[in-house]
Structure 1
Amino acid sequence: MSISSVNSNQAGQTGQTGASSQTQTGAYNAQTARNQLNATLVESLSVSISSGKQSQSLLFQASITHINQILNADFSNQNGSQQGQGGATIQISSTQLSITVQQDGQSDDDTSPQATSQRILQGALGMFGLYQQQHPEQSASDQAQNFIKLIRQGFEQGYQEATDVLKKLNVFNGDVSDGVQQTHDLVEKGLDAFLQQYQGGSAQQAASGAAQDSGS
């Protein structure tokens, strides 16, 4: 075999190898780019959350989402039960079941534990009137106890979800951890205060007190 034929064969093999290598390199580069982009996004999110502001927003969104889901399930079950008994049902649209929050002069930039807890409480407790309409067979005290039980369930689910995300981002420490825990404690105190209004005294006085609190 001549040297020229050997060189020709080597060149052909090199060309095939090069083409294969370019294909693999292209795929590798595309995957690498996606990985780098994801890493950049996570890093950016970590920086934002580590400042404390985004951690409170995350807790708020997760809490309201789960509270909505819990109340939706309860209202759906109640409507199904009433229909099974042949009773009149209250038609509730998805818009009514979606918790909306009045800022009441609070800035969107105010993501302190105090402001965040108030937004969660206002949004959740504002659904009590609708819950009462759905459960007229219960006394005012039972309505309050059962309602707050549902709210706590949804809030705890949201709190767990938010803290899990923060832990995965390795930012659930220091001020972030302290702030989220403070918000949790303030929400729990607010729910206790609401429930206490319905323990003893007349239902009318309790309802009046709740209206004053929500308006303040």
Structure 2
Amino acid sequence: MSMAIKPDFASAPLKKNNITVPSDLKNAPNSLTNKKNADEVTEPVHVQNKKRLNAAILDSALKFNTTIKNQPESLLLKTILQGINKALQEIDIEKTVEDNYEEGIDVSPQATAERIVMFSTQYYGVYQQRHPEMDEEQSLTSYIDIISGAIDQGFLEAKEILTNLNALEGDTGKNIEKTYVLVQQLLQIFLDNKRAEMPVGDKNIISKEDNIKDKEVSK
């Protein structure tokens, strides 16, 4: 009787499966990485744009904070000019503030005050033409009230920002107060000059000289 020969699996060499693995799968990342990549691909464009915008805003804010700490007078000028620009837009005078606050310009109290008054008063003629129902004194008083309010608000906002950044120290605070006083003096000169040009009949309203000279920025 013949005996069946059982194969010796313990000693028999194992043969490798002859399976070809595609090259693009050999280095494939794990499933978590695949999911992450898929999410990035399918992320809406507007979400990606928003993330980039937020990053740009943050970077700009950090640079801005550093700049205004080193150049607080530039911030003062920028804030006031933007406030005046907004006030002019509200009375339909569409003008854009020039970059008068860029690095390297003279931001001494006198130079800053002159820039503020020059920018704010140069559109009085336009305002006067658009309000023929007013006589010269009325249009002058109305216009000065508008720009004075914008200037006062600009000073207050600039002081608040500088205070929050601990940048309102040393001579900075004194220079801002000096700038404000000079602005009021220059506005009064503008008023006086315009009134000197008026016909006698239009000079029938009490001068605002005392009101302008005695103004002080709220502490």
TM score, norm. by length of structure 2: 0.56
**2:31 aligned partner:** none
Find the aligned partners of 1:66 and 1:203 in 2 and give their Cα distance.
Answer: 32
Find the aligned partners of 1:113 and 1:197 in 2 and give their Cα distance.
Answer: 22
| 2:83 paired with 1:66 | yes
Identity %: 30
Quick check: which has more Rg, 1 or 2?
2
What residue identity is the alignment partner of 2:193?
A: Q
Match of residue 148, structure 1, among 125, 144, 151: 144
Deviation at 1:50, TM superposition (A): 5.2
| 2:212 paired with 1:195 | no
The number of equivalent residue pairs is 142
Please give the per-residue CA displacement for 1:89-120, whole angstroms capped at 9, x wherever unaligned.
xxx6x3xx2244889xxx94311111111111
What residue identity is the alignment partner of 1:118?
A: E
**2:11 aligned partner:** none
Structure 1 unaligned residues grouped into runs of 5+: 1-33, 76-91, 205-216
| 2:163 paired with 1:163 | no
| 2:88 paired with 1:98 | no
Find the aligned partners of 2:143 and 2:84 in 1 and give their Cα distance.
Answer: 11
Find the aligned partners of 2:160 and 2:144 in 1 and give their Cα distance.
Answer: 24
User: Which structure features the higher share of helix residues?
Assistant: 1
Find the aligned partners of 1:169 and 1:60 in 2 and give their Cα distance.
Answer: 17
Please give the per-residue CA displacement for 1:136-162, whole angstroms capped at 9, x wherever unaligned.
211111111111100101111111110
Give 1:1-216 correspondences, 5 Å limit. Answer: 41=62, 45=65, 49=68, 51=70, 54-75=71-92, 94=94, 97-100=95-98, 108-199=104-195, 202=198
TM score, norm. by length of structure 1: 0.56
- Structure number with the bigger relative contact order (C-alpha 8 A, sep ≥ 6) is 1
Structure 1 moving runs of 4+ over 6 Å: none
**Pairwise CA RMSD of aligned residues?**
3.1
